[in-house]
Amino acid sequence: MILWLRNESCDSNSHDQSHCVARCVMPNPKTGPDATKPIIEIAILATPEATLSTVFGMNDLLASVGRDWSFVTEGVMGEAAIKPTIVSLTGEEMQTVNQGWLRPHRALTEEYHPDAICILEMFIDPHTGLDSRYSAEIQWLQRYWANGGVIATACTGALLLAEAGLLDGKETTSHWGFTEGLARRYPAVKVQGNRAFIATGEGQRLMMAGGGTTWMDLGLYLIARFIGMDEAIRIAKLYLVEWHESSQHAFSYLCSKRQNDDAVIAESQVWLAQNYDQSAPVNAAIKNSG
């Protein structure tokens, strides 16, 4: 059985992220790679605006679960515990945003129901959003969620969930450069731009990581959830992945700068954006401005 505690226990302010996950993952029938147990299938959604480093990176990370640790440490290939599957709407080969080519493993069909699906970085204009160009994928996600699916996003992948209405009334995070646009376009979503990871929704089935390399954290959370914490730690060691202990706050203030001809006011605006979470930030800003 998997028991996810209140998400506050898993926020990015924890000094020990691996311990945080350990508190959330309870023993279950899939607590370790075992050839006698059903393999977990995790889909990775590919779109023309996807960045290949995240798609292939997540594919490689998940494919190594149960297989690579014993190979590296003992010279014996283990049994794979997760089957990553790259999917797209049609399953046809596509050229992606940075001119790379990708051939998905399969198409998204109505009957397809993986154990989880990942939606990773998409190169999208934060001011215009998605419009309606992914309506078919969004409809699939809505059906999948209604049927008990687990959805994990990183970076701008959260925009698809927001467009699908799956984040209404829920906390979410995304790349720090997109959080203002996300909040403006989807006012029903509680955007927490300083958070590096959020799990929410019924059964904590919606998981969202922030920008950049936090997709690796997302992969480790999925491994911990479906396979077990021990294997997640082994994969982290194998790939030299360090859990992100800090929030995105250090970067998010860059999108909060305001132009002002008065240098003191401009400096105070930037200071407030960086320190809004302090107690009595306005008084502190006045003192800081001299």
| Average pLDDT in the chain | 78
Whole-number pLDDT of residue 256: 45
Can you give the C-alpha Rg of the chain in angstroms? Answer: 20
Q: 280 with 177, same domain?
A: no
Whole-number pLDDT of residue 8: 39
Whole-number pLDDT of residue 19: 43
Tens of pLDDT, residues 93-103: 999 988 899 99
Label residue 197 left, alpha or beta by phi (over 0 means left) and psi (-120 to 50 means alpha): beta
**Domain-located, residue 186:** yes
Q: How far apart are CA 42 and CA 91, in angstroms?
A: 16
Q: 277 with 158, same domain?
A: no
- Residue 284 parent element (H or E): helix 281-289
Q: 53 with 81, same domain?
A: yes
**Domain-located, residue 244:** no
Q: 207 with 264, same domain?
A: no
Say if residues 122 and 49 touch (Cβ distance below 8 Å): yes
Q: 282 with 144, same domain?
A: no
Q: 46 with 176, same domain?
A: yes
**Domain-located, residue 276:** yes
Q: How far apart are CA 58 and CA 152, in angstroms?
A: 12
Q: 172 with 97, same domain?
A: yes
Q: 280 with 142, same domain?
A: no
Q: 228 with 266, same domain?
A: no
Tally of domains in the chain: 2
Say if residues 166 and 141 touch (Cβ distance below 8 Å): yes
**Domain-located, residue 251:** no
**Domain-located, residue 248:** no
Tens of pLDDT, residues 219-271: 999 999 999 999 999 999 999 887 655 444 433 433 444 444 455 555 555 44
Whole-number pLDDT of residue 282: 60
Q: How far apart are CA 243 and CA 229, in angstroms?
A: 13
Q: 124 with 202, same domain?
A: yes
The residues facing 86 across adjacent strands are 44
| CATH number of the domain to which 131 belongs | 3.40.50.880
**Domain-located, residue 246:** no
Q: 166 with 276, same domain?
A: no
Q: 110 with 74, same domain?
A: yes
Q: How far apart are CA 62 and CA 231, in angstroms?
A: 11
> Which parts of the chain register pLDDT below 50?
1-33, 35, 246-261, 270-274, 276-277
Whole-number pLDDT of residue 244: 57
Range of the domain at 275: 257-289
**Domain-located, residue 249:** no
